[in-house]
Structure 1
């Protein structure tokens, strides 16, 4: 199916080194490179950058 290949599930890992992760989907056509989102890390207690890991 084209939908599964176009919008894969990706894991976002905290750059704070806490090991906390988020799981989301991304559109490969719009975001071909690795996704970086600023989200809340409850272990660190602050908003930090979360980078896509493959």
Structure 2
């Protein structure tokens, strides 16, 4: 199965500084900038912003 270049795998890193990461895919055509999602950080114990790491 071929890997799509329009939907690359990206790593989301917690902005709380806990070192927690999530891995997801994004569509480069719809989201050309860095992706920011609010997800649960189990170390911080709350929902925080996760920013795409490069």
Match of 2:16 in 1: 16
- Count of residues in correspondence between the two structures: 53
Cα-Cα RMSD: 1.0
Task: Give the Cα separation in 1 of the matches to 2:4 and 2:16.
Answer: 30
Structure 1 residue ranges, 4+ long, deviating more than 2 angstroms after superposition: none
Match of 1:33 in 2: 33
Task: Give the Cα separation in 1 of the matches to 2:47 and 2:4.
Answer: 30
Task: Give the Cα separation in 1 of the matches to 2:45 and 2:10.
Answer: 23
Structure with bigger helix share is 1
- TM-score, normalised by the number of residues in structure 2: 0.94
Secondary structure at 2:19's aligned position in 1?
coil
